[in-house]
């Protein structure tokens, strides 16, 4: 998966660099390995609807089953992976690969819109498009399905109706990446739910990029805390 991602982004880089060199040079580059640390999480409790609160236990069991079956975890769990997140940034697309079982996440920054609702195929990662607001990348994601690990930090879970906006910005001379997540979903949240993750750049990783997941209950208990 990592090789395929690198090839795709390399092709995009060569093509678009020739077309828009000045614009590309002015934008931050998020490429690298980024890890979460003890001080990385600023997550308040979400204001949940009664419907979402009532569904919390059954949703946790559903997530545990997805973990036990080594299903693709999807968003937002991809961004909450405790191993380093591999980010590759080309002029038209940003690719992300987590260590946990997941498909590569792509954020398209070539000016496209989301597909029409009747043409959009829901996935665990959703469909993500980005635009620049100064040196901040604003990412808009829709088109989720209800599979994988759906829990959201702070409470609640993603549904096919969820709408996610992320704001990416580099700090500390490019060594820290701030990502502010804001979720909206009238069936889950009484008001938009926002939190920040702070990622720290690491020069390299020693472990294999993607784990070889073996379905079992012990893995599920460790990752989710839900008894089997």
Residue 170: the pLDDT is: 98
What are the domain boundaries of the chain? Answer: 2-11+33-224
Contact 114, 120 (CB under 8 A): yes
Cα 104 from chain centroid (whole Å): 10
Distance CA 91, CA 69 (A): 36
Rg (CA), the chain: 18
Residue range 114-151, pLDDT digits in tens: 999 999 999 999 999 999 999 999 999 999 999 999 99
Cα 211 from chain centroid (whole Å): 18
Which of these, 96, 182, 192, lies nearest to 140 by C-alpha position?
182
Residue range 61-115, pLDDT digits in tens: 999 999 999 999 999 999 998 889 999 999 999 999 999 889 999 999 999 999 9
pLDDT at 221 > cutoff 70 = no
Query: What does 132-191 look like in DSSP terms, one character per residue?
Result: EETTEEEEEEE-B-S-S--B-TTS-B--TT-EEEEEEEEETTTTEEEEEEEEE-TTTBSS
Residue range 144-156, pLDDT digits in tens: 999 999 999 999 9
Q: What residue has token string 């889950």? A: 188
pLDDT at 219 > cutoff 50 = no
User: Region 25-31: what's the mean pLDDT?
Assistant: 86
Which of these, 138, 130, 194, lies nearest to 167 by C-alpha position?
138
What topology is assigned to 2-11+33-224 in CATH?
Answer: Lipocalin (2.40.128)
Residue 24: the pLDDT is: 54
Residue 178: the pLDDT is: 98
Residue 81: the pLDDT is: 87
Which of these, 1, 211, 5, 210, lies nearest to 107 by C-alpha position?
5
- Mean residue pLDDT of the chain comes to 86
State the sign of the Cα–Cα–Cα–Cα dihedral 201, 205, 209, 212.
negative
Which of these, 183, 213, 215, lies nearest to 76 by C-alpha position?
183
pLDDT at 13 > cutoff 50 = no
Residue 11: the pLDDT is: 43
Which of these, 70, 128, 68, 138, lies nearest to 104 by C-alpha position?
128
């Amino acid at each position: 998966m990592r090789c395929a991602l690198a090839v795709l982004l390399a092709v995009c880089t060569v093509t678009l660099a020739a077309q828009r060199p000045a614009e590309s040079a002015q934008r931050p580059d998020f490429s690298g390995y980024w890890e979460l640390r003890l001080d990385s999480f600023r997550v308040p409790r979400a204001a949940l609807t009664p419907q979402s609160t009532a569904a919390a236990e059954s949703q946790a069991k559903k997530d545990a089953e997805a973990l036990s079956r080594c299903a693709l975890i999807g968003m937002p769990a991809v961004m909450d992976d405790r191993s380093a997140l591999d980010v590759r940034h080309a002029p038209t697309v940003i690719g992300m690969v987590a260590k946990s079982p997941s498909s590569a996440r792509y954020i398209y920054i070539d000016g496209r819109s989301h597909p029409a609702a009747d043409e959009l195929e829901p996935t665990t990662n959703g469909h993500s498009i980005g635009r620049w607001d100064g040196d901040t990348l604003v990412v808009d994601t829709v088109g989720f399905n209800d599979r994988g690990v759906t829990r959201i930090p702070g409470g609640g879970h993603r549904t096919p109706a969820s709408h996610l906006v992320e704001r990416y910005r580099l700090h500390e001379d490019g060594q820290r990446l701030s990502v502010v997540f804001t979720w909206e979903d009238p069936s889950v949240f009484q008001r938009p739910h926002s939190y920040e993750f702070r990622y720290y750049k690491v020069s390299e990783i020693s472990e294999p990029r993607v784990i070889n997941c073996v379905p079992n209950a012990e893995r599920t208990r460790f990752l989710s805390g839900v008894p089997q």
